[in-house]
Amino acid sequence: MNELINEIIEGRYHNDLRHYDYLELLSLHKKLWKRKHDLKGQPIKIAIIGSKSIQLFVKTIEVLLISRGYLPEIYEGEYNGIISEIINDDSDLYKFSPQYTIILTHHTDIHTYPPLLSSHTELKSWISDHTRYYQQLHEKLESLNCCVIQSLFVVPDIQVLNQLESNVLYSENMLLKMLNIELVMNKKPFVHYIDLDTLASSIGKRKWFDHKGYYLHKAPFDYEYLPDVAHLFVNRIDSLEGRIKKCIVLDLDNTLWGGVIGDEGAQGININQSDPIGEAYLDFQKYLLQLKDRGIVLTICSKNDEDNAKSAFIENENMILKLDDIAVFKANWDDKASNIQLIADELNIGVNSLVFVDDNPAERQIVRQFLPTVCVIELDDDPVNYKQNVNDALCFDWPTLTREDLNRVDTYKDNARRLSMSQSFVNYDDYLKSLEMEASLKEVTHDDISRYVQLTNKSNQFNLRTMRLQENQVLSMLKDDHYKLLYVTLKDCFSSFGIISCLILKKDGDICFIENWLMSCRVLKRDVEVYVLNQLVLIASKWGCTQLVGEYIPTTKNKMVENFYPSLGFVQNGHLYELNLDHYESKKTYIKGDV
């Protein structure tokens, strides 16, 4: 355990502590606490409140956060503190001012139910009263500009009415289920629910509920499952902090099909619907296709001859995945770590947003060793479990899903077509001209907020100040006249990219400060930034400003824009960059755009 502690403290630990039980995690917590002053990482303030005993939950959350490179400061609510602390403006919770508030609910928080045989109207009013109660708590928290991460109710397996419980709406079980649904239906964007009922069901509710623990020390569930619960909450914090996986890298032989294509040929591999293993491989492919449909980029990395590898996709009609579904196809005899790096480079995304799936433990080990930030999935020896294995790794726990996410996969494919077109031009300007780009720059409205926030929080490379935003912060800036929130959309002859760049301008007298400027790396080297500057000058002048001022705040990931402002003609002044508007002459681009 000492080596683990050193790895964590030195920031070398990239795994997820999945194999440790709660007693080990608590002991790890104790040991890390003794070296508290050596801990470093991204500071994060989290309030955790709940109606039952939450101390061990808090410690588990804390140790997971530390292992993932955060330096948490945690406010632990009083026992039974949900109402008092949130409702009271003077409570320590408000003084603490958290970025995230975790609310761990329990079915015993609901004290009264409508009587048996109640009418639908009575049931509806009970449901909306309880929903309203939580909404009010959330609204209070909204004033703190924090995200709320709340558990949905775990429906108990005690059924007074036996099976009738699920056949009538007035039973306690059904009411709790309906309350869960109603909560989600009335969810505000800054509220995120964690579905503990599904977790408890997969574990088995007879194991989940620990009556001894509940009566002895008000344990909300069997502590054996503390790690599972804490992982769900910490995953959500991770994804809200922009740590998101976008792409899955797949092996071929014995991962997508049974057998070795090089030996058995396109028709010899096992993806036969009539064979148990073949059917499992087909189902796994279907699952991967579903991942693609929700915006995960599929890529292949296989030790194979390329023509052989592709022949399965082209010649075997049973294949669910087609070549067209694959954004990057690497089949060669080089080592996988190098190939995976190449895949990331071609897609222009970080290696840390990749998930690697390979049946060969040796390959997994190599990737873990050389690319420690890649999420490597432990596959079972039996292929029938692959789908479950990928699912249970919970890699793709995005906080939102937008139209752009669903179209992104096509964009990556179109990129490959652009790349081949660009190679046919000798002159880069001719290439840009041929793309027939059209852009527009608009002010953010309510409809665009979720994509705006998502792009803001996950862009790392082309990001001048790496400012992270929550939806409620955007809402309050929209109401403030000193701010302009802008976004840029782009399309070309191949595809529409949707929102690709986000900016925040702040007016301070006659200075227009660029509080945030970021761009998706999918549209680099197309002069979008030049187009944006041309527009910014117009906007700032109309706003009554005489100067644009920008700032570059270095991070480990944004070196790409180190010289961004000077390259656009800004003059450095201390740590800021200034551009006078009166002498500005619009720069040439090949982008058609409305002013």
Partner 1 sequence: MDLRAELQALFQDFFEDEDLILEDHLTAEDIEDWDSLAHIGLIATIEKKYNIKFATAEISRLKNVGELISLTKKALE
Interface with partner 1, residue 79, by CB under 8 A? no
At position 344, the amino acid (one-letter code) is A
Q: How many amino acids of this chain bind partner 1 (CB under 8 A)?
A: 13
Interface with partner 1, residue 36, by CB under 8 A? no
Q: Choose between 79 and 425: whose C-beta lies nearer to partner 1.
A: 79
CB of 223 to partner 1, least distance (A): 7
Q: Please choose, out of 24-32, 339-347, 472-480, 539-547, the segment that lies near partner 1 by the rule CB under 8 A.
A: 24-32
Interface with partner 1, residue 55, by CB under 8 A? yes
The CA distance from 458 to 346, in Å, is: 18
Q: Please choose, out of 135-143, 212-220, 407-415, 558-566, the segment that lies near partner 1 by the rule CB under 8 A.
A: 212-220
Interface with partner 1, residue 23, by CB under 8 A? yes
Interface with partner 1, residue 212, by CB under 8 A? yes
Q: Please choose, out of 22-30, 73-81, 161-169, 337-345, the segment that lies near partner 1 by the rule CB under 8 A.
A: 22-30
Whether the Cβ atoms of residue 439 and residue 488 lie closer than 8 Å to each other: yes
Interface with partner 1, residue 70, by CB under 8 A? no
> Which residues on adjacent β-strands are paired with residue 70?
42
Whether the Cβ atoms of residue 492 and residue 469 lie closer than 8 Å to each other: no
Q: Choose between 76 and 182: whose C-beta lies nearer to partner 1.
A: 76
Longest alpha-carbon distance in the chain: 80
Q: Please choose, out of 19-27, 153-161, 310-318, 466-474, the segment that lies near partner 1 by the rule CB under 8 A.
A: 19-27
CB-hemisphere CA count at 13 Å for 448? 19
Residues 6+ apart with CB under 8 A from 420: none
CB of 75 to partner 1, least distance (A): 17
The CA distance from 577 to 569, in Å, is: 9
By CB under 8 A, what part of segment 533-562 binds partner 1?
Answer: none
Q: Choose between 34 and 542: whose C-beta lies nearer to partner 1.
A: 34
How far out from the chain centre does Cα 32 lie? 27
CB of 491 to partner 1, least distance (A): 58
Question: Comparing C-alpha atoms, which of 587, 440, 568 is closest to residue 501?
Answer: 440
CB of 33 to partner 1, least distance (A): 11
Phi and psi, residue 421, nearest 5° = -70, -40
Whether the Cβ atoms of residue 505 and residue 477 lie closer than 8 Å to each other: no
Q: Please choose, out of 208-216, 234-242, 272-280, 574-582, the segment that lies near partner 1 by the rule CB under 8 A.
A: 208-216
- Measured over the CA atoms of residue 258, residue 260, residue 265 and residue 266, the dihedral's sign is positive
The CA distance from 140 to 89, in Å, is: 9
For 215-220, the CB contacts below 8 A with 24+ separation are: 217/53, 218/52, 218/53, 218/79, 219/52, 219/53, 219/56, 220/50, 220/52, 220/53, 220/54, 220/57, 220/104, 220/106
Whether the Cβ atoms of residue 63 and residue 227 lie closer than 8 Å to each other: no
CB of 517 to partner 1, least distance (A): 47
CB of 1 to partner 1, least distance (A): 11
By CB under 8 A, what part of segment 215-244 binds partner 1?
Answer: 215-217, 219, 223
Q: Choose between 217 and 482: whose C-beta lies nearer to partner 1.
A: 217
Interface with partner 1, residue 207, by CB under 8 A? no
Q: Please choose, out of 173-181, 210-218, 315-323, 493-501, the segment that lies near partner 1 by the rule CB under 8 A.
A: 210-218
Interface with partner 1, residue 56, by CB under 8 A? yes
CB of 23 to partner 1, least distance (A): 6
Whether the Cβ atoms of residue 315 and residue 268 lie closer than 8 Å to each other: no
At position 516, the amino acid (one-letter code) is N
The CA distance from 328 to 325, in Å, is: 9
CB of 8 to partner 1, least distance (A): 18
CB of 36 to partner 1, least distance (A): 15
Whether the Cβ atoms of residue 459 and residue 520 lie closer than 8 Å to each other: yes
Interface with partner 1, residue 30, by CB under 8 A? yes
At position 296, the amino acid (one-letter code) is I
Q: In which residue are the tokens 């699952």 written? A: 287
Q: Choose between 17 and 351: whose C-beta lies nearer to partner 1.
A: 17
Member of 4, 5, 9, 26 binding partner 1 (CB under 8 A): 26
Q: Please choose, out of 21-29, 65-73, 74-82, 92-100, the segment that lies near partner 1 by the rule CB under 8 A.
A: 21-29
Q: Choose between 33 and 133: whose C-beta lies nearer to partner 1.
A: 33
Neighbouring CB atoms inside 10 A of 390's CB total 21
CB of 211 to partner 1, least distance (A): 8
Q: Which residues bind partner 1 (CB under 8 A)?
A: 23, 26-27, 30, 55-56, 212-213, 215-217, 219, 223
